[in-house]
A and B are shown apart, each in its own frame.
Chain A
Amino acid sequence: EAQVTQNPRYLITVTGKKLTVTCSQNMNHEYMSWYRQDPGLGLRQIYYSMNVEVTDKGDVPEGYKVSRKEKRNFPLILESPSPNQTSLYFCASSLSGQGYQPQHFGDGTRLSIL
């Protein structure tokens, strides 16, 4: 089954404790992206990757890191999480970097930073 898999689905942690949210897709997609969803703000892009070893900032990259060492994986790293990063996070992928390609979303990761 074609899917985008995120782990963990839920995480409660404390300020400053490094964490990684994993994202994996099995569709051989070149493009992957991370979004955060906050009430009243919709989804905002954090980082994206056009292909292996190619990543770039989205609209809200501060406090986050990403890497793309393999085509299928695109982890999101919070080196020193803070309470303002409490949010619902989505990973998405699509075939290429062209705007007409719809994106496939994971089921989300709900992070709570205390």
Chain B
Amino acid sequence: AQSVTQLDSQVPVFEEAPVELRCNYSSSVSVYLFWYVQYPNQGLQLLLKYLSGSTLVKGINGFEAEFNKSQTSFHLRKPSVHISDTAEYFCAVSESNFGNEKLTFGTGTRLTIIP
């Protein structure tokens, strides 16, 4: 069974500083990887996804993530954060087999931007 680990439950970062949110996954088959963002009082919004091909994927709002198969990681990065990036970020994995399109989520990382 697949699983996702987000080790950092909270990450405070000064405005305009870089940030990395860590995500590790476990699966016995090939996977698709996603990062979702949840702004206060809103649903989840897709930030970026890795399906295949280039291991560096770019998403919305200047975020990017790198898939590392050997380390089973999919860390999210942004070179310079803004106040508007304050949100909760969820890493999710889906196994590449037809059927239940089950997303397994990590427990989330709350990113707080300090002015």
Contacts and interface: CB of A to CB of B under 8 A. Distances in A.
* A-B complex is real: yes
Interface of A: 4, 31, 33, 35, 40-45, 48, 50, 56, 58, 90, 92, 94, 96-103, 105-108
Q: Which interface class (under 10, 10 to 19, 20 to 34, 35 or more) fits B?
A: 20 to 34
Interface of B: 4, 9, 31-32, 34, 36, 41-46, 49, 51, 90, 94-103, 105-108
26 contacts: A4-B43, A40-B107, A41-B107, A42-B107, A42-B108, A43-B44, A43-B103, A44-B105, A48-B100, A58-B100, A92-B44, A94-B101, A96-B101, A97-B101, A98-B98, A98-B101, A99-B31, A99-B96, A99-B98, A100-B32, A100-B49, A100-B51, A101-B101, A103-B46, A107-B42, A108-B43
A43 B105 contact: yes
Contacts of B43: 4, 90, 105-108
A44 B103 CA distance: 9
